[in-house]
A = this chain, B = another copy of it.
Amino acid sequence: MARKSSTFDPQKLDNQICFAVYSAAHAFNRVYKPLLDRLGLTYPQYLVMLVLWERDDVPVKDIGEKLFLDSGTLTPLLKRLEAAHLVRRTRSREDERQVLISLTPQGHALKEKARAVPQSILAASDCSVSELVTMKDEIVALRDRLNAVIGE
């Protein structure tokens, strides 16, 4: 064994940023759960609703690009949102390959009920907005570098 004293072991769990990110994502999920339960949403469903609240009548592909998810994930998720009467799924007239997702009145209305969610998360983070924005920008930059590697 090499001497460990002044050595940074890259194979140690707690030294790995990916585990930090992985476990932070789960921690967020657990904080969101009780808040989103009241809205009848899961976290990925909430993300889809955030996309639709920004722009309605979007093809599945566009939602996927925003959230980095594919149809294998989104198709069943969107069917569940449709079953909950929050969205409608309709084939595009111009391009029959596309399925357009649009909000129902209930889907629109949910935006108001969801307004308190980010505030609760901010409180749970126990952190200033500016600190969070800085961290967010760093994480997004890292994510984009990783995604750049994937696309060769």
Contact = CB atoms under 8 A, between A and B. Distances in A.
Q: Is the interface of A mostly helix, strand, loop or mixed?
A: helix
B118 A11 contact: yes
Interface in A33-78: 43, 47, 50-51, 53-54, 66-68
A24 B127 CA distance: 20
Given A13-B47, A53-B11, A125-B146, A135 B132 contact: no
Interface residues of A, number: 58
Interface of A: 8, 10-28, 30-32, 43, 47, 50-51, 53-54, 66-68, 111, 114-115, 118-119, 121-122, 124-127, 129, 132-133, 135-136, 138-140, 142-143, 145-147, 149-150
Closest 10 CB pairs of A and B: A10-B118, A27-B146, A24-B143, A17-B136, A25-B25, A20-B139, A18-B28, A124-B149, A13-B50, A20-B136
